[in-house]
Amino acid sequence: MATTNLKKLSDMPDLLSGGHAACPGCAGPVAIRQILLAAQQDDTYVVASIATGCMEVGTTIYPNSAWRIPLIHNAFENSAATISGVEAAYRSLKKQGKLDKKIAFIAFGGDGGTYDIGLQSLSGALERGHNFTYVCYDNEAYMNTGIQRSGATPKGAFTTTAPAGVVEPGKRQVKKDLTAIVAAHGIPYVAQASPHRARDLMNKVQKAVGIEGPCFINVLSPCPRGWRYAPDQTMQIAKLAVDTCVWPLYEIEDGKLTINYKPREKKPMQEWLKSQGRFRHLFSPKNEYLIEEIQQDIDRKWEKLLALEAMGAGESG
């Protein structure tokens, strides 16, 4: 029986080893370790694909690999298409009696490889109904190539391609709601998670892996380099994202939305924005109006989520 008992899990060997080249304080490897531990249990093996990005570049530097499960990296925009082929191969070889193992397939991608350049390939794989779980580790910009804006970058954030300058306040557009876009595909399971709530994340992974068909988990992955905070603050930052409702933890199972965590007292946007250097410029007098706007955006989305939960719906996100 698969477990999310943290004590038991701490005795299990990590499936992503240490010694990789991710930056100090990167949430990515923390999330991936939790995900792999949750997924590869009992008689189930995990085979994964990964899009080009921080996690791929940092963990697969030839001739070393941090991965203790089979991993395939193909290119940037095709993690979902690649796992489609792998999963099709599995089905084919299994029905021919050439393979008898039980394998769960996970496709990893960052926000660049998922929200933007890989969106088509993800959408295609979801629509075709492959039996896999897509995990996006969302660090809200193209961090691997130097903190460029992505569709996942939130309004007001400083990036190297939407910098705050004399006339520009950073990114002007709101973050794309990818989780809602994915949910609109009507797939069996969609969730948002955060590595600071390990058990919640691992529960979600085990649900997804146990469900026949395509599943999707969007995991917030705070990035000290890009978000400009001290590397030892990563889990606090992740927690703050959830406590401010910037990153709600919820799941949509067969169309029914459940919010997994409701902060007793929603923390104000100011606190979130102040915690990271990427928002520092918002506190200058000429940009302050944006703080209120961002608060309103977040409030509106949270209210909508609550309403969807109350309706027992969720597909329209």
CA distance 316 to 11: 41
Distance set, CA 46 to CA 37, 42, 52, 108, 166 (Å): 10, 11, 19, 12, 49
Q: How far is the CB of 151 from other proteins (least distance, A)?
A: 19
Residue closer to other proteins (CB basis): 98 or 264: 98
The footprint of other proteins (CB under 8 A) covers: 45, 47, 49, 56-57, 60-63, 65, 67-75, 77-78, 81-86, 88-93, 95-96, 99, 101, 103, 120-121, 123-125, 127-128
Residue closer to other proteins (CB basis): 114 or 276: 114
Q: How far is the CB of 96 from other proteins (least distance, A)?
A: 6
| CB neighbour class for 125 (10 Å; exposed up to 12, middle 13-18, buried from 19) | buried
Residue closer to other proteins (CB basis): 40 or 203: 40
Residue closer to other proteins (CB basis): 10 or 96: 96
CB 208 within 8 A of CB 189: yes
CB 212 within 8 A of CB 129: no
Q: How far is the CB of 27 from other proteins (least distance, A)?
A: 20
Q: How far is the CB of 13 from other proteins (least distance, A)?
A: 12
Range 198-232 burial, b when 16+ CB lie within 10 A, else e: bebbbbbbbbbbebeebbbbbbbbbbbbbbbbeee
Q: How far is the CB of 99 from other proteins (least distance, A)?
A: 6
Q: Which of 6, 126, 113 is nearest to 55 (CA)?
A: 113
CB 133 within 8 A of CB 79: no
- How many residues make up the chain in this entry? 317
Residue closer to other proteins (CB basis): 15 or 215: 15
Q: How far is the CB of 178 from other proteins (least distance, A)?
A: 17
Residue closer to other proteins (CB basis): 71 or 147: 71
